[in-house]
Amino acid sequence: MPERLRVATRGSALALAQSEAVMRALRAAWPGLDLEVQVVMTDGDRHRDVPTADLGGQGGKGAFTGAVQRAVLDGRADLAVHSAKDLPAVQVPGLVIAAVPEREDPRDVLLGPDGPIPSLDGLAEGARVGTGSPRRAALIGHLRPDLKVVGVRGNVDSRVRRARAGDLEAFVLAAAGLRRLGLHDEASVPLDPAVFTPAPGQGCLAVEAAEEATAVLGLLSDISHPPSRLALRGERAFLARLGGSCTLPAGAHLPPPDDEQVLHMSGFLAAADGSMMVSERVTGPRDDPEGLGAGLASLLIDRAPSEVRVLVGR
């Protein structure tokens, strides 16, 4: 049993907070375990003025995760902590998702100068909304085509400062990131996920380790939350069927199973500007979240017009 683990992570305030949450869970499960943070610079951090979809030449796949994963593969670290929504759906050879801690709120928040705004209906005609997410931009374009989407990059804390300063009428951020940074007031009024569908994996952390590191995998298994892992399995299967990129204008949400242990999953696939969108809700057994997620994605692909279908697999 290892006495010391090295934790690879990005260096943003949110990434460090996420890694600290994982380390707290490990210390609670294994008192006396020595943990060391290894901060890694990613392509997404290095090129903050470039849209995520343009990084790396593959639609941004792995822009925020590839360098962190390499730290584990080359032995500089024992495990890597990611925001699951940043993790491409195709698993990197040699690594496995060893733990998924309990999911934080998966919903988005519309944040203005005076705090959270309950819905897009609370914005005036022509208001400017900041986001760097193709999914969020498509949803805004579909729900409120009169609004002006402004592309933004930057860490959560910098976007919160801009929202408070009134640089734009509103910014869209993940409730999970706000909560993990202690910004509970800003996250207090999330958007309805039935209307503003979250990204696959949003709110989840994915802890990766080398597939042959059996001792490390054993430690990490104790901090995994089965319902959260089940949800991530289904949502990542959805993403994989659509081509594996976290920059596609698509969303999916798989809540915990109901009293009858049935899964209910919703999702959408859209044109980049939201002018065309298909959405579906499907149900399935608890023991096959991957089949449910892949089936939902296939249903959306079959229903999508050619202008939307061509985006799949990029």
Residues marked as catalytic: 85-86, 135-136, 153, 159, 246
- Which tokens in the block code for residue 109? 């928040």
Question: Which value, to the nearest 10 degrees, does the dihedral of the CA atoms of residues 147, 150, 154, 156 take?
Answer: -10
Q: Helix 289-303 vs helix 226-241: angle between axes, to the nearest 10 degrees?
A: 30
Q: Which residues make Cβ contacts (< 8 Å) with residue 14, sequence separation at least 6?
A: 83, 155, 156, 157, 177, 180, 181
Q: Which helix (H) or strand (E) holds 279?
A: strand 277-285
Give the separation between CA 90 and CA 288, rounded to whole angstroms: 18
Give the separation between CA 247 and CA 30, rounded to whole angstroms: 37
Give the separation between CA 104 and CA 96, rounded to whole angstroms: 21
CB burial class (10 A; 0-12, 13-18, 19+) of residue 63?
A: buried
CB-based contact 151:273 (threshold 8 Å): no
Q: Helix 214-221 vs helix 13-29: angle between axes, to the nearest 10 degrees?
A: 90
Give the separation between CA 184 and CA 207, rounded to whole angstroms: 24
